[in-house]
Structure 1
Amino acid sequence: MIELLPALGKTEKGDGATVTEPAHRFEGDYWTRAEWREMPDTARRVRLALGVEPIAVLPHLMPAVALPPAPKPLPLGPQPGTCLLADIADTQPIPHEALVLALRGIDLMTGTLWGFQHGGWHLLTPETVRQRPTYQALTLAWELLELPGSSLAELAAVAAHALRATHTLAERLGAAVTREEAPVEAARRAASLVLLKARFARSVELRLLAPGTPFPSRRAWRAAYGLGFGWGHLDLLHWPAAPQRALFTLTSAGKPSYFLPERAAEGEGIPGLILSFELPSCPAPLETFDAMALALAHFREQLGGHPTDEGGRELDLERLDAERESVAAAVTQLEAAGITPGSREALELF
């Protein structure tokens, strides 16, 4: 028997009797700190799920995936790849008092205003614009994916309206518009981004469904940890365990879709497993797919069940090959559009 968490508090009934509070609730969700009194450490919780029997550690079953260096975080400021930008500059710094007056009555639609000062960008709002006395330059930015319109003509008209607001602001400041994109070019970029996102903003999934009797959650935990998974972000199981470079995720096909160790300790059953990764943000999509397929085979060996694709169709070798070819084709098309999966450009767009 595995020992569950001890009670974390006591309550007094009206008759003076003391009732021990349960350490967790099977039908509940996340506990509050008030309920827990103090949070148990992660390792202790994971031991609840894994039990006391030894686990066969089989990391050699999974391939070593060589990853490119992690992309640096996107810098704070307007993003040229996914935005329509217009710059305003003057020979002298722009005082914030003049900027506040000039902005009155100007409709920026969904645009944001950025101010450049001391080598960095600052997002300007009515609350933050007064935080600095002057700005060396200004940039107005509109997310291309948020421009309303279903045709190039409509998108170009919206972009032209946005740029007119830029010229109005510049005239009021006595400054000049030093960079702007032609509305028709902005419309074309917006339409291209919409198509790219519609086609490739998807996850790649492989599933293992229980044959009738649910899989014991504890057995799923043990099989996952034997392959080098780790429990972490969003209460999911990730491979490999390092959260910064996890390539794919294991979720439950039931509700809830996340894993709580206490539920496994209580004997929770789950109707199936879903292995998945986000195609555009994955730095090695084909290698990740291959690793995911190996993990699926291991889970089937350990748990039984029926492998299927996302649509519920039987995942035999022919369909598995077709799924891999689909991933390869998507990678080729993304790279042809100048977007490498897992790159900064991909993270910015998707």
Structure 2
Amino acid sequence: MNLQLALILLGVATFAGIVVFSLWRSRYEGRSLLERSLGWIQVVLERIPVERLVSRLRPRNLTRRVRQKEPSLVASAQFDLSGDAQNDQTPAESADTSDPGVGGIERGASTQSLQSEIGAQPLRIDYWARLPGTSPVSRDTALGVFREHEIDLQRPRAVHGRTEPGNVWLDLATASADEVFSDLIVSLQMADRDGSVTESELTRFNNLAYYMSESLNRSLKFDMTIEEALPQAVRLERFCQEFDLLAVIHIEPPPGSGFSGPDVVRAVDRAGMRLGKDDMFHLYDPRTGASRFSLAKRSESGSFSYDELESGMLRGLVLFLNVPTVPRPSQTFSDLISVATYVCTQIGGSLVDPQKGALSDVQFDDIARQIRSLESSMKRYGIEPGSEEAIRLF
């Protein structure tokens, strides 16, 4: 055996000895190794701000961050077509959902709080009373009595009747004058985005129902008591305040300039929008004729004048969508983005939110996600976006 081979064998033997010794030590001194590991883990944990993390994960704070709304989603009560009201508000202030919302109720309330205020059951929109009869009553007779005493009411109200023959329920205000009705129902809407009905108004409505019962010689049955109706009205008001949102996008001209009226008309016309209600442009649903979203001038009224469109200059444009009142609002918002992008490109502007923050695909995706969430939440409460019920409430 030469010296080189001997040294190699000695190295291998030394390495094997070290391995064996390490295994033996880990076997018989494992307890101290475990203790050292636990001590190291404890030191690491002490350096982690556990209390701060727990505080951030509390339901209220977690929900607040999840439910923060993009600046382009604006409550109707805070909607300003002039674009001036938001200038003094920083994005951080807008994102702080702990600020009171409409009616002083916090928009940053937790999901648990929202469910406790609205509840999980479908909402009831109307407080009503039924007046069945043994003989039919004419449309003019019933409507005359109703209109004589409805003047004491502020909330939307109606009287419906079941035709005889036919058994079809019709609104007496729009029914043909020669219709006669077997049963009648008088109703009062309990809330909308402007507030809820009061006990005093419910009492006045009851008086109307009693008077109709006596005048028309009919029995009377209320759907619920006033005591039962008041909490339902509060639930409905809270729902309206939570979901009363508009998606708003501004088209801003380059600094120190404006948009030519004729250029705006040309671009908007090519995008399929037409001048209509309130002297604003609208994209109409070809099936229903209803406006899906609108384009206004950036001014207090938002209305366009013919002089401006023919030869004037405009300091900015505002596209807006009333989210709960259109069918499939997420798809409608996608169409709004397409129109906004096209018009913006044609007239040389830029897309910004109401706080003048630049908008990109990332922000558009965030807005669309929140609109989809709002859409599904409304359905859970039994109100379909764009339905007759939604239009009544918003």
Give the TM-score of the pair, scaled to structure 2.
0.54
For structure 1, which segment, 168-177 or 318-327, has the greater mean C-alpha deviation from structure 2 after superposition? 168-177
Q: 1:45-87 CA distances to partner (integer Å, 9 max, x unpaired)?
A: xxxxxxxxxxxxxxxxxxxxxxxxxxxxxxxxxxx96321111
1:181 aligns with 2:227: no
Q: Which of 273, 295, 311 in structure 2 is aligned with 1:250?
A: 295
Q: Secondary structure at the match of 1:280?
A: helix
Aligned to 2:251: 208
Say if 1:167 and 1:177, in contact at 8 Å, map to a contact too: yes
Q: Answer whether contact 1:200 1:280 (CA < 8 A) is retained.
A: yes
In the alignment, the residues of structure 2 paired with residue 171 and residue 286 of structure 1 have an alpha-carbon distance, to the nearest angstrom, of 50
2:356 equivalent among 278, 300, 312: 312
Percent identical: 20
**Given the alignment, which residue of 291, 295, 310 partners 1:265?**
310
CA distance in 1, matches of 2:326, 2:259: 29
Q: CA deviation at 1:318?
A: 3.7
Q: d(CA) in 2 for partners of 1:209 and 1:116? A: 54
Residues 90 and 269 from structure 1, CA distance in 2 versus in 1: closer, same or farther, beyond 3 angstroms?
A: same
Q: Structure 1 residues 149, 155: closer, same or farther in 2, change over 3 A?
A: farther
Take 1:172 and 1:220, find their aligned partners in 2: how far apart are those partners?
A: 59
Q: Distance in 2 between matches of 1:213 and 1:197?
A: 39
Alignment of 1:229 onto 2:273: yes
Q: Distance in 2 between matches of 1:258 and 1:97?
A: 40
SS at match of 2:383: coil
1:171 and 1:308, CA in 2 relative to 1: closer, same or farther beyond 3 A? same
Distance 2:260 2:150 in 1: 57
Alignment of 1:329-344 (within 5 A): 329-344=373-388
Which runs of 5 or more residues in structure 2 are unaligned? 1-122
Counterpart contact for 2:282–2:292, Cα < 8 Å? yes
Aligned residue-pair number = 261
The DSSP-based 3-state class of the residue aligned with 2:325 is coil
Taking a change above 3 Å as real, the CA distance of residues 186 and 304 of structure 1, as seen in their structure-2 partners, is: same
Considering only CA atoms, is the larger Rg found in Structure 1 or Structure 2?
A: 2
2-structure distance, mates of 1:319, 1:327: 12
Is the CA contact 1:249–1:275 (under 8 Å) kept in the aligned structure 2? yes
Structure 2 contact 124–236 (Cα < 8 Å) conserved: no
**1:139 paired to 2:182:** no
1:91-150, CA deviations, whole angstroms, 9 ceiling, x for partnerless residues? Answer: 2346999989999x98984165556654665648xxxxxx8898634433222128x997
Amino acid at match of 2:372: A
Is 1:278 the equivalent of 2:303?
no
Match of 2:130 among 82, 87, 106: 87
How far is 1:207 from its partner?
A: 0.6
RMSD over equivalenced CA pairs, Å: 4.1
The answer (yes or no) to whether the contact 1:108–1:165 under 8 Å persists in 2 is: no
TM-score (norm. length: structure 1): 0.59
